[in-house]
Structure 1
Amino acid sequence: MTFLQRNPEAAAALSRRGFLITATSAGVALGFAGEVTAAGPAPAGFEPTIWYSIGRDGTVTVNVIRAELGQHVGTAIARIVADELEADWSKVQVKTVDSDAKWGLMVTGGSWSVWQSYPIYSQAGAAGRTVLIEEGAKLLGVAPGACVARNGAIHAGKASVSYGAIVTRGNLARSFTPEQLAKLPMKPAAERRLIGKAVQARDIPSKTNGQGVYGIDAVVPGMVYARPKLPPTRYDSVVVSIDDSAAKAVPGYQKSLALDDPSGTVPGWVVVLADSFVAANKACDLVKVTWKTGEAAKVSEADLQRRSAELIADPNAGSLVVEDAGVDQAFAAAKSKLEATYTTATALHFQMEPVNALAFEKDGVFEIHTGNQWQSLVLPWLAKALGRPENTIVMKSYLLGGGFGRRLNGDYAIPAALASKAIGKPVKLVFTRADDSRFDSPRAPSVQRVRMAFGEAGRVTAMDHAAAAGWPTLAMAPFFMPKGTNGVAYDPFSVNGADHWYTVGAQRVRAVNNDLANSTFRPGWLRSVGPGWTNWALESFMDEAAHSQGADPLAFRLKLLDGVGRNAGSGPTAVGGAHRQAAVLAAVAKKAGWGAALPKNTGLGLATTFGQERDMPTWVACAARVRVDPQTGVVKVEKLTLVADCGTVVHPDGALAQMQGASLWGMSLALFEGTEFRDGQVKDTNLGGYTPLRMADVPDLDIEFMPSTEPPVGLGEPATTVVGPAIGNAIFNAVGARVRDLPIRPAAVLKAMKA
């Protein structure tokens, strides 16, 4: 299932379109019919179109709708095109495009980018290769069957003609229906020359020589700088008065403006305007605003967790994501039962580049210059806020200094646009680190209850998993929420991972929205989203279940990963199902030395996951080796061993970097990161109180990818979800302390050791 298929109307529209390849004197243009911009003569020799173009000099320009936030997504997607096209990699360049309806859905998240792009761009590359061979054969005076495409040219024996020459001299015109595209011959894996090979990432030079431009670098003549004066609460604050008398002494200060936001994105906001950010920053601290607030100003972390627990206790609350017949009967007839509750604390994004946006109107178009992960989500908010048609607004794309899901929510663009509209000038809104933290869309705190029923000889007969948290998709993209078996809509990103691939008899998975969280703040998507808490509970519980039955945790899991029924897996990307998850688990256990003797107070813990979603499974397993100081409870992670089966590895260096970063983030969330709400706001707003993983804490990493020619899936997030429970299980194996709350603090370890 592709992302487009999640939107039936979009999928239907796409399926009716043929694929078009045309050529003019300017270049070859490739795209879906109805979406192609005619490539007329251009000074540069080519005109970019929907997916890629080839210039008269043979340059291949790949248009990428995904945001570049450090994951080398442009290089990965360009490889897909270039490999099938047989392009000269030295002549391939990547263009990250601005928002436009012709691109369709623009979103970068969920580990979807390569997974969704692979079939589209590989077919596009194959189509281009087919046409270039046909036209190249004419220019060479031979039959197409005598020709091969290789490294940006068509070869026939000792003769050849370059792609640039074909574009300049040829007469290319060919269209493909979706059915014809699907039948185009793709290169066998053995003939790939770019996918899976070591080639330079296209974005590295600009990032290292300073030429790369990030959102915070955007400038235009005559712009006014702004810093927000944030209200006490996210939703229910109203400006009563503004006193800027002290700020007027700051050179360059202009004024403070209370925003009127028809979209409801930034209620109660004041922006402080000045000639420079230094002035805006200083003046903002001096401006005094009086707000009227509501009940959200009283909410604490304990209130949020208590509300989740109350909702989980109500069997009628929430949406039934999985509901097999006989769950209650199996628990009633069970020989034994096990139940445990797990929690996770509020977590923040802390991307390197604080959020920012530059906004202004030019020639009847309102431009928003910023780094963003989901333009298609933000444009309707901007249209409502500005009171103008969506097609008169464009979001200009920039590099992102980190995103981690925070920039899926482009709410920070709204105040910049409103301020610009109000004063009739370009406004560059920049947040301080503390502003960014207070205005963050945090990962909501979560509470989960997991139960398992056992029959004769410890056979698992039923499992019941309920997860309660704030729902980001309800807050920002409710149109993206499917309905459960009981007809109640749910946020898939709050419960993905709980619908696991273990065979556990009758299964129930229930997603519960913490309404207090959603009314207090705007819950956000943070790298791995729901699996970041669901897999913490699931894989910790699997260890507990194994020990309750006197079973080895590895053997217990492998027995349940039998690939029976719905866990058998199917195409296109879940082929092999639970058997592939069992394979990575067995491989990581062997690699890490599972079962070998370890020093005192040292333990090895296992955990496994299928990544983000059942139709896009990335099979990952982790073995964490930890040492626990029994006097202090401090946990030292000595080594993380991970094995992943992500199908075809498109960009090996990028894939390794993704796994490394994700696993370290998972470790950071497990042991170091976490804040709490106090009086409706997060307690920690900078990196003094909020303490992510430091360099001194980084363990040895041993990461391996299973060889595969299956279609590629996602890698940005899965490893994040598997490290935490592996560490928790290792702590238990080291000192017998079972911790069920993230982050794992030394005091909690000491308390569990005494329990």
Structure 2
Amino acid sequence: MPVPPRPRSPRSLSRRQFLLEAAGGSLAFGFLPTCAKAEIVLPPLPERLGGTAAQPSELTPNLWCVLHSDGWLDVNIARAEMGQHVGTALASVLADEMGMPWNRVRIIQVDTEQRFWPWYATGGSRSVWSGWVPYRQAGLAARLMLTRLAAPLLNAAPQACTVADGQVSCGGRAMSFGEIVAACARPGLQMGYTAEELAALKLPPVAPPQTGRSLPALDIPPKVTGAARYGIDARLPGQLYARPLLPPTRYGARILSLDDSQARSLKGYHGTLQINDPENGFEGWAIVLADSWPTALRASACIKVHWQPGPTADVSEADIARRAQELCNDRKAGTIVQWGGPKLSHQLEQAPHKLEREYWTQPVAHFAMEPVNCLAHRNSEGVWEIHTGCQAQKLIMPQIAQALGIPAGEVTQRIVMKTYFLGGGFGRRLNGDYILPAVLASRQLGGRPVKLIFTREDDMKFDSVRAPSLQRLTAALDPETRRLSAMAYTTVTGWPSKALVPDDKGLLHGVNGLYDPDSVGGAEPWYTVGPYRLRAICNDLTQKTIRPGWLRSVGPGWTNWALESFMDEAALMAGCDPVAFRLSMLLPVGPNAGGPPDAVGGASRQAAVLKALAERIGWPCRDLPPDTGIGIASGYGQSREMPTWGATAALVHVDRRTGVVTCRKLWLVLDAGTIVNEDGARAQCEGAALWGVSMALHEGTEIRHGNIAARNLDTYTPLRISETPALDIAFLKTPYPPTGLGEPGVTLVAPAIGNAIHAAVGARVRRLPIRPQEVLEALSDSAPPA
């Protein structure tokens, strides 16, 4: 679908001024009799002094939409489109509240502008959650505007008019939205709600009835036809292609010598820049420049660079694991996020029935299909243009400004980021580290366009991976109630917010210091377990060696693995059914009662999805084939303040001879409040669940010589199509506002698979990914003595 030029945004009138200018004071306020017969002629609309005139063929109700006289509605989207169809979801929220037919809606992915500044960050499953009220208010504002404009044309009072299916009607007469625009738009007319006036609009208590239906995603046609433009497609006249030559370690490396004598004979080779910018995290970088990408590749292959590596050149995964153990054993290390008090320590130390377990995860790469890339230059007006797929312009543009010496107050005036589709994000493109080298190279060349492209191997080596983790859980079991009576949880991992957000602004205050909320998300359960302590420890060796990043599901991806595996082990120790054991502790009391705005119902909603799952799979599941089992897990994502409750069951088969685990089916039941677009929601959960299987059974790589070992699909092996399980996904219908769906479906798959392995063959695995060798070792450990 062709994308029209983004409409200009005129300066807005106040709501009251708009009503008065649009139709005259008494008419606008509805003092006409219903469907009055007298013909009403709109008075001349005064010119506004200053500002940009609206186009005669369009109306701009607010910053989120523009309505054209041909009946098309453009909806502005400032969130990144990376396959999750966020534009479709948000546009449908606005269109439904407005009464706009879906087949006349277009989405406009906006470039960076000051008016959209708070919205330029896409992650954490927050887009629909955060856009639900503003986009409904934008739709309501458009509906009110059209009603008041159409009323005098229909000889009607505004309150007597109805709006539906792109028309305003009264008493058998109707005008389409396009006709209203054609009749009422005037050059120089400034109309629309300001952001403040939008925020003050009171929404109807019930969402429009069409909310929740399945809609075709508006971004699919251009992706199918090839019209869609990704960052890697960006082109500018006179651009140079660039490939980075990456140092052996992320930090502290230095180029000792660089010999490009062989590359100089290549036609189109322009030279190699050296970048040494420790402040921005680029030490020992070289960037090869050429007229074409093939030439840049050929040149980089014959350039000889001798580096002095940084201090982490010999760090291995075993070193990081040893450091994690040391920190976990140090009672003074880390930050207390939730304090259980002295009573907890006493109960744990004196408990006659106590369970303590450790769970591990390996690093996981993002491996987006489109390797990271960036085209940067300074245009003829002196503005820096950045062409790339990006998830967090709001986070990255200040970093670009700092690198270029641009004052903080001039960021949006002197830098613009052009918006493109993302060929995969998953949290990787929340980090601007792939953008800054292109900017720095262009600056060295006087602002000339430089297009930096990472090969797959470059992309993997330079990735800000999900850091490895160690989690230790300890709990006391009350033998009478057969419930947990005290619990302590310690997690040791790299902190992505500390690495990626400047000046520790992403950290929160705990009981005794700062901590990264993204390192412990999901570790504050809705279970009532008595006194509870949560301790977050940053693995300093991880932080010095790699750049920990946000990866789809973030903290709940490792915390739910540990917590829900532990709950299964605790149920076994208590001699309880795993579902009944969990339900006995999902009590909506105290802090677990939840509350507004987004956690209404608390633990009772997690109990509801778990009960629905048990009913859906016919729990307890008996008469399964040999070495086949079903495991369950229950929890929430993305955060306790904005929870999407979920329950997952996995059907697996274990080959006792080889240790190979095959996941045959997954069931997911989720409560995400109001479902905006069921087809899109289901697609999100399907992708999330399959990623969960991939990380549970396949994805993971070691750290060797200060970097991750896997560099391509020969050694990094995500889930293959032939291994894809059947999926059964259901949503509980609840009347609450929508929460996130991009990530919660990931988080419970791994523990469900781990619990299913134990149900199938009695072997307990506590490390992700679950490799065949570890299954064989677990089988050996679980075997009775000869």
Listed one character per residue, the Cα deviations across residues 402-428 of structure 1 (whole Å, up to 9, x for unaligned) are: 011100002111111111111232111
Q: Please, which moves more after superposition, 255-264 or 425-434?
A: 255-264
Distance 1:186 1:418, change over 3 A: same
Matches within 5 A, 1:396-415: 396-415=418-437
Matches within 5 A, 1:182-221: 184-186=202-204, 188-189=206-207, 191-193=208-210, 195-221=211-237
Matches within 5 A, 1:335-350: 335-350=352-367
Partner in structure 2 of residue 557 of structure 1? 582
TM-score, normalising length: structure 2: 0.89
Would you say the 8 A contact 1:84–1:186 is kept in 2? Answer: no
1:90 aligns with one of 88, 93, 103:
103
1:690 aligns with one of 696, 711, 716:
716
Partner in structure 2 of residue 152 of structure 1? 166
Distance 1:393 1:559, change over 3 A: same
Deviation, structure 1 residue 177: 8.7
Deviation, structure 1 residue 571: 1.3
Would you say the 8 A contact 2:62–2:142 is kept in 1? Answer: no
Partner in structure 1 of residue 640 of structure 2? 614
Q: 1:315 aligns to what SS in structure 2?
A: coil
Amino acid aligned to 1:633: G
- Of the two, which has the highest radius of gyration? 2
Distance 1:228 1:172, change over 3 A: closer
2-structure distance, mates of 1:572, 1:693: 37
Q: 1:296 aligns to what SS in structure 2?
A: coil
Deviation, structure 1 residue 100: 2.2
Listed one character per residue, the Cα deviations across residues 472-521 of structure 1 (whole Å, up to 9, x for unaligned) are: 100111212111122x1111111000011110000111111111111111
2-structure distance, mates of 1:516, 1:464: 24
Matches within 5 A, 1:19-38: none
Answering whether residue 141 of structure 2 is matched by residue 118 of structure 1, we say: no
2-structure distance, mates of 1:39, 1:568: 51
Counting aligned pairs with the same residue, the percent is 50
1:50 aligns with one of 55, 63, 66:
63
Partner in structure 2 of residue 461 of structure 1? 485
Deviation, structure 1 residue 263: 4.1
Answering whether residue 599 of structure 2 is matched by residue 577 of structure 1, we say: no
Would you say the 8 A contact 2:252–2:310 is kept in 1? Answer: yes
Deviation, structure 1 residue 22: 5.3
Deviation, structure 1 residue 50: 2.4
Would you say the 8 A contact 2:62–2:192 is kept in 1? Answer: no
1-structure distance, mates of 2:275, 2:19: 49
Matches within 5 A, 1:64-83: 64-83=77-96
1-structure distance, mates of 2:133, 2:576: 43
1:309 aligns with one of 310, 320, 325:
325
Q: 1:268 aligns to what SS in structure 2?
A: strand
Distance 1:177 1:472, change over 3 A: closer
Partner in structure 2 of residue 356 of structure 1? 373
Would you say the 8 A contact 2:376–2:387 is kept in 1? Answer: yes
Q: 1:116 aligns to what SS in structure 2?
A: helix
Amino acid aligned to 1:428: K
1-structure distance, mates of 2:712, 2:309: 24
Q: Please, which moves more after superposition, 233-242 or 683-692?
A: 233-242
Answering whether residue 309 of structure 2 is matched by residue 293 of structure 1, we say: yes
2:761 aligns with one of 735, 738, 744:
735
Deviation, structure 1 residue 88: 2.3
Q: 1:54 aligns to what SS in structure 2?
A: strand
1-structure distance, mates of 2:20, 2:270: 53
Deviation, structure 1 residue 365: 0.2
2-structure distance, mates of 1:501, 1:22: 49
Amino acid aligned to 1:460: L
Amino acid aligned to 1:607: A
TM-score, normalising length: structure 1: 0.93
Would you say the 8 A contact 1:19–1:177 is kept in 2? Answer: no
Would you say the 8 A contact 2:336–2:510 is kept in 1? Answer: yes
Distance 1:398 1:552, change over 3 A: same
Distance 1:449 1:129, change over 3 A: same
Distance 1:263 1:87, change over 3 A: farther
Structure 1 residues without counterparts, runs of 5 or longer: 1-16, 27-36
Q: 2:433 aligns to what SS in structure 1?
A: coil
2:662 aligns with one of 629, 632, 636:
636
Would you say the 8 A contact 2:654–2:757 is kept in 1? Answer: yes
Partner in structure 2 of residue 427 of structure 1? 450
2-structure distance, mates of 1:632, 1:683: 25
Would you say the 8 A contact 2:62–2:195 is kept in 1? Answer: no
Deviation, structure 1 residue 45: 4.2
Deviation, structure 1 residue 165: 3.0
Amino acid aligned to 2:768: L
Distance 1:460 1:696, change over 3 A: same
Would you say the 8 A contact 1:493–1:530 is kept in 2? Answer: yes
1-structure distance, mates of 2:351, 2:21: 75
1:445 aligns with one of 462, 468, 471:
468
Q: 2:375 aligns to what SS in structure 1?
A: strand
Listed one character per residue, the Cα deviations across residues 11-38 of structure 1 (whole Å, up to 9, x for unaligned) are: xxxxxx9889959999xxxxxxxxxx95
Distance 1:262 1:44, change over 3 A: farther
Distance 1:383 1:702, change over 3 A: same
Matches within 5 A, 1:687-726: 687-726=713-752
Listed one character per residue, the Cα deviations across residues 249-268 of structure 1 (whole Å, up to 9, x for unaligned) are: 32321101102437423222
2-structure distance, mates of 1:689, 1:577: 43
Q: Aligned pairs, how many?
A: 726
Would you say the 8 A contact 1:18–1:178 is kept in 2? Answer: no
Distance 1:416 1:22, change over 3 A: farther
Distance 1:725 1:454, change over 3 A: same
Would you say the 8 A contact 1:20–1:174 is kept in 2? Answer: no
2-structure distance, mates of 1:432, 1:467: 34
Would you say the 8 A contact 1:63–1:95 is kept in 2? Answer: yes
Answering whether residue 680 of structure 2 is matched by residue 654 of structure 1, we say: yes
Would you say the 8 A contact 1:594–1:604 is kept in 2? Answer: no
Would you say the 8 A contact 1:640–1:701 is kept in 2? Answer: yes
1-structure distance, mates of 2:313, 2:763: 37
Would you say the 8 A contact 2:672–2:731 is kept in 1? Answer: yes
Partner in structure 2 of residue 645 of structure 1? 671
Partner in structure 2 of residue 329 of structure 1? 346
Amino acid aligned to 1:731: I
RMSD value, Cα: 2.2
Would you say the 8 A contact 2:483–2:581 is kept in 1? Answer: no
Amino acid aligned to 1:523: P
Matches within 5 A, 1:237-248: 237-248=253-264
Deviation, structure 1 residue 168: 3.6
Distance 1:508 1:418, change over 3 A: same
Amino acid aligned to 2:457: A
Q: Please, which moves more after superposition, 71-80 or 578-587?
A: 578-587
Would you say the 8 A contact 1:441–1:522 is kept in 2? Answer: yes
Would you say the 8 A contact 1:39–1:49 is kept in 2? Answer: no
Distance 1:399 1:43, change over 3 A: farther
Structure 2 residues without counterparts, runs of 5 or longer: 1-12, 23-49, 782-786
2-structure distance, mates of 1:280, 1:436: 16
Would you say the 8 A contact 1:196–1:648 is kept in 2? Answer: yes
Answering whether residue 272 of structure 2 is matched by residue 256 of structure 1, we say: yes
1-structure distance, mates of 2:198, 2:542: 49
Distance 1:19 1:413, change over 3 A: farther
Distance 1:717 1:22, change over 3 A: farther
Listed one character per residue, the Cα deviations across residues 201-249 of structure 1 (whole Å, up to 9, x for unaligned) are: 1111111111110000000111100000001111111222211012223
